[in-house]
């Protein structure tokens, strides 16, 4: 099914964001899906105000898109994407890929770091306008839906291209099982097995289980794309460590141990942990770091356990500057205002 996507924007609202086990083991607030419906309504009104014509919305288990449209008087042509639903994070990746294929000018996301990671795996070069509605929200920002809709619409219309910047990511390459691939150095044009937008943690557990991580004592290694004071989640450990990066393009590598510099950090809402840093150094662009432990472990990507590594298995992590393109909403509004876009 081919959709005429002129002046179109995508919306991906994750009904599961802000509702994981960290509400029990920490003090994370539950982000109500009814509020997500209200945010989508305000996003739609903001989009229409700046000239958007068509909107694609990902279908979901709560019917956020349908409920947002109920009783809303707008002239936008809104389409709930005709796609096979799995009611998992794969839906976000599939919806982003479909929106990109159909030529959407940008994609607005409602979720946390994990939601945006899933979207980034499918969106290609389509810019993202991330609205924070998750638990760990380093990648998305707390933003009023009306403003987010306006900013996304301005970028889609070509009025605020300078407000879009490329974000870094972490590429994960897992050990190959094919004998012909053994010993092959990944990264030379090879597609990574997975990605993370903020952090990759080597976690001392055997299974993915409940996915979310909250016990800092089980973290063996930590890779970060950014070091931003005031953030929450595993990246706050790096932000609170006494290290200054030589370049904004560098990431950070941490190895935790029983001895070393002690750092206090909020690794989840209301959950502060003190950890020891045995090693803390900059992570350079394209640097490939080998992860190999004698005990089984899992790789947690953006705060959620995703990849199980058996005993002695090897993975590689690489800092890549070619991550998703992201809209700075306030900058987009400022650019448009200076250009007189809002003058009637």
CA–CA–CA angle 121, 48, 130 (5° rounding): 30
Region 194-212 average pLDDT: 91
d(CA 274, CA 316): 27
* Helix-then-strand count for the chain, H and E: 8, 17
Q: Is the pLDDT of residue 160 over 50?
A: yes
| 213-258 tens-digit pLDDT | 889 999 999 999 998 888 888 999 999 998 888 888 999 999 999 8
| 95-132 tens-digit pLDDT | 999 999 999 999 999 999 999 999 999 999 999 999 99
Q: What's domain 8-167+324-338's architecture?
A: 3-Layer(aba) Sandwich (3.40)
| 36-95 tens-digit pLDDT | 999 999 999 999 999 999 999 999 999 999 999 999 999 999 999 999 999 899 999 999
Q: Is the pLDDT of residue 184 over 60?
A: no
Q: Is the pLDDT of residue 181 over 50?
A: no
Q: Where are the domains of the chain?
A: 8-167+324-338, 169-320
**Length in residues, the chain:** 344
* More confident site: 105 or 5: 105
Residue 291 near residue 90, CB atoms below 8 Å: no
Q: Which of 17-31, 47-61, 157-171, 277-291 has the lowest mean pLDDT?
A: 17-31
Report the pLDDT value the prediction gives residue 175, as an integer from 0 to 100.
84
CATH T-level assignment (fold) for domain 169-320: Tumour Suppressor Smad4 (2.60.200)
Q: Is 331 helix (H, G, I), strand (E, B) or coil?
A: helix
Q: What is the pTM of this model?
A: 0.92
Q: Is the pLDDT of residue 188 over 70?
A: no
Strand extents, DSSP E, 102-218? 107-111, 128-132, 164-166, 169-174, 194-196, 199-203
| Strand ranges across the sheet with 325-327 | 77-80, 54-57, 8-13, 107-111, 128-132, 325-327, 164-166
Report the pLDDT value the prediction gives residue 183, as an integer from 0 to 100.
42
Q: Is the pLDDT of residue 259 over 90?
A: no
Same fold? 8-167+324-338, 169-320: no
Report the pLDDT value the prediction gives residue 20, as an integer from 0 to 100.
62
């Amino acid at each position: 099914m081919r959709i005429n996507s002129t002046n179109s924007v995508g919306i991906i609202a994750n009904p599961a964001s802000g509702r994981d086990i960290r509400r029990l083991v920490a003090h994370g607030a539950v982000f109500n899906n009814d509020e997500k419906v209200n945010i989508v309504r305000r996003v739609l009104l903001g989009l229409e105000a700046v000239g958007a014509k068509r909107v694609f919305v990902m279908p979901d288990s709560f019917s956020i898109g349908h409920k947002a449209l109920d009783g809303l008087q707008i002239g936008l042509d809104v389409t709930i994407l005709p796609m096979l639903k799995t009611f998992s994070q794969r839906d976000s990746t599939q919806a982003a890929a479909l929106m990109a294929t159909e030529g959407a000018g940008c994609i607005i996301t409602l979720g946390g770091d994990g939601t945006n990671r899933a979207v980034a795996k499918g969106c290609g070069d389509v810019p993202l306008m991330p609205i924070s509605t998750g638990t760990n929200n380093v990648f998305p920002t707390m933003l009023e839906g009306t403003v987010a809709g306006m900013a996304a619409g301005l970028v889609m219309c070509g009025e605020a291209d300078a407000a879009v910047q490329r974000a870094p990511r972490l590429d994960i390459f897992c050990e190959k099982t094919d004998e012909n691939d053994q010993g092959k150095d990944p990264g030379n044009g090879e597609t990574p097995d997975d990605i993370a937008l903020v952090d990759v943690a080597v976690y001392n557990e055997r299974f993915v289980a409940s996915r979310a991580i909250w016990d800092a004592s089980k973290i063996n290694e930590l890779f970060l794309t950014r070091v931003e004071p005031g953030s929450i989640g595993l990246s706050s450990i790096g932000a609170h460590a006494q290290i200054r990066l030589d370049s904004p393009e560098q990431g950070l590598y941490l190895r935790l141990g029983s001895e070393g510099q002690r750092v206090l950090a909020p690794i989840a809402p209301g959950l502060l942990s003190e950890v020891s840093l045995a090693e803390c150094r900059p992570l350079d662009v394209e640097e490939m770091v080998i992860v190999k432990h004698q005990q089984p472990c899992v790789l947690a990507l953006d705060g959620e356990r995703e990849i199980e590594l058996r005993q002695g298995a090897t993975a590689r992590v690489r800092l890549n500057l070619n991550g998703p393109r992201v809209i700075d909403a306030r900058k987009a509004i400022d650019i448009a205002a200076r250009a007189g876009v809002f003058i009637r």
